[in-house]
Structure 1
Amino acid sequence: MARTTPATLALDKAGVDYGLATYDYDPDAPRVGLQAAESLGVEPGRVLKTLMTLVDGKPICAVLASDQEVAMKKLAAAAGGKSAAMMKPADAERITGYRVGGVSPFGQKRGVPTVIDAAAMTHLKVFVNGGQRGLQVELSPADLVGALGAKVAVLT
């Protein structure tokens, strides 16, 4: 597995302190984020999933705990819109440059605004996808927000 991805390059360029963790990605897992948490031996609230969504038709990246579901009305409000919906997987892959299951909020082909669930801020360190299936980046929530210029809001 490559440890250098557009995500890790973006983190390096931003000067963010992070660690890498790998696990055996299971494409048949009912919930990939929960499978990642279990494989890494950490609580699901620390492993954040990256969801590509559309708010009033515009792409928005939502980042929240792997064991939670995004409340679309809350996401829309946080992004300054009226309605939100999940992006089609093919569109998410085209916009981010990553394959579904390996979408990172960092180093996307076309940077989009990001909203991070406020619950992520309660942890010392969190994991987000490192830009490849089976690769996770561990970093502080403050660095996650800062490097992405993200907005923090309640999304669940």
Structure 2
Amino acid sequence: MKRVIIANDHGAIEIKQKLVKHLESRGYRVDNLGVDSEESVDYPDMAKEACERFLSDGDYEFGVVCCGTGIGISIAANKVKGIRCALPQNIFAARMGREHNNANFIAFGGRIDYWEPVEKMLDAFIDGDFAGDRHARRVDKIMGLENR
């Protein structure tokens, strides 16, 4: 069975629940590290836990992280060596995160009013295939920045 890891802070409970339901409807087993209470938790801690488990397990297709805006948790996720987290604003950007950047994580904001359904954005990310070629060279350059 396909596996996904998801984590969220207190600012993204509803969107996380919506995404989990959608992922399960697509046949994914979702390992939910996130919270379901409005008690404050720190999004960098949630990103770190999800990214480290993703990297150490090796059996996940991708990861999802969510906070109030998606910004903080995506920045935190991108600080973890080996993670490329996309923060799309629409369906096109979600697909490009996968096709051009070979993103292995996607982030959403629970307090953001998206113009397009987040489920469709997630589908575009899932259904996108890395294009390779010149994009592989660019991804290699991105990942090379981790070693500076």
Which TM-score applies when normalising by structure 1? Answer: 0.34
Higher helix share: 2
- Identify the structure with the greater strand proportion: 1
The one of the two structures with greater contact order (alpha-carbon pairs below 8 A, sep at least 6) is 1
